[in-house]
Amino acid sequence: MKWRSDPNFSTFRIGRRELVIHRDLASQAGQILQQLGALTSAVEAGAGNRQSAFRLNLDEGAELFARRGRRGGLIASILSDTYVGIAPRPLTELAVTIEARRREIPVAEPMGAMIEWIGPVLYRGVFLTRAVRGMTLWEFLKTDDDPTVRNHVLAQARAAIDTMHDKGLFHADLNLHNLLVTQAQESFTVIIIDLDKSRLLDAPVSSAMRRANASRLLRSARKLDPSGQYLDAAALSILNLE
């Protein structure tokens, strides 16, 4: 799904940087670009699976969640945050996330993306969402030992995944870090994050693709919790992984 201009977003270009930002934050585009410029050149680690997530505090109390594009695998040692292409992945993710929200899939609210061109087809990128207070499902499982609450949150995660599949979204990297647990008073919800390389379909996700997502999530659970201390057979069953 390619990015196309959207009436709810504005585009700003300064030098090598291109910022697409929600119109509610257009007046703060300069401040956002300044903070993102400092972020792309920073050496400190952020949060998340690849230490690529940061919070941006803007004027008037607004907060954004910024995720730098970071490579994984062997290529990360060569091109840690540099990508090749004429269709930047953060803009594709923005288009996918906007449509996912329209379909009422529980994903973080997309707020924009920034591309920094470092060559004709070389770029670094940042994806922006509205900041959400919460923790990843993996962090939650390690900190909450109330079995009733844990089972409720696992059921919420299962419901979020089922909704994602029923409404045609295939997640390319479903894992325990990409399910975010949020709380409002006594109620918990789970939202799906990091839709980079995800695919939107015109029909519900096929059984084979659902099994692929389940297999990827199970590998994540086995890698993070090989002894089953936090995710035993009963927990995996709630997630539909056993």
Q: Tell me, yes or no, whether 14 and 115 share the same domain.
A: yes
48: confidence class by pLDDT, cuts 50, 70, 90: low
Q: What's the pLDDT tens digit per position in 200-233? A: 999 999 999 999 999 999 999 999 999 999 999 9
Tell me, what CATH number does 185's domain have? 1.10.510.10
- Is 4 inside a domain boundary? no
- Is 40 inside a domain boundary? yes
Please give the tally of structural domains in the chain: 2
Output the pLDDT for position 61: 76
Residues spanned by the domain of 208: 135-238
Q: Which two three-digit tokens encode residue 153?
A: 């949150």
- Is 2 inside a domain boundary? no
DSSP assignment string, 156-217: HHHHHHHHHHHTTEE-TT--TTSEEEEEETTEEEEEE---TT-EE-SSPPPHHHHHHHHHHH
Q: What's the pLDDT tens digit per position in 11-44? A: 999 999 999 999 999 999 999 998 888 776 655 5
Q: Tell me, yes or no, whether 69 and 103 share the same domain.
A: yes
Q: Tell me, yes or no, whether 47 and 89 share the same domain.
A: yes
Give 231: exposed, middle or buried? Use CB within 10 Å, 0-12, 13-18, 19+: buried
- Which of 86, 104, 130 marks a domain boundary? 130
72: confidence class by pLDDT, cuts 50, 70, 90: low
As a whole number of angstroms, the distance between CA 208 and CA 230 comes to 27
Q: Tell me, yes or no, whether 107 and 208 share the same domain.
A: no
Q: What's the pLDDT tens digit per position in 111-158? A: 999 999 998 889 989 999 999 889 999 999 999 888 999 999 999 999
Q: What's the pLDDT tens digit per position in 143-197? A: 988 899 999 999 999 999 999 999 999 998 999 999 999 987 778 999 999 999 8
Q: Tell me, yes or no, whether 121 and 208 share the same domain.
A: no
Q: Tell me, yes or no, whether 60 and 19 share the same domain.
A: yes
Q: Tell me, yes or no, whether 120 and 153 share the same domain.
A: no
Q: Tell me, yes or no, whether 54 and 154 share the same domain.
A: no
Q: Is residue 186 within 8 Å of 154, Cβ to Cβ?
A: no
pTM above 0.85, yes or no: yes
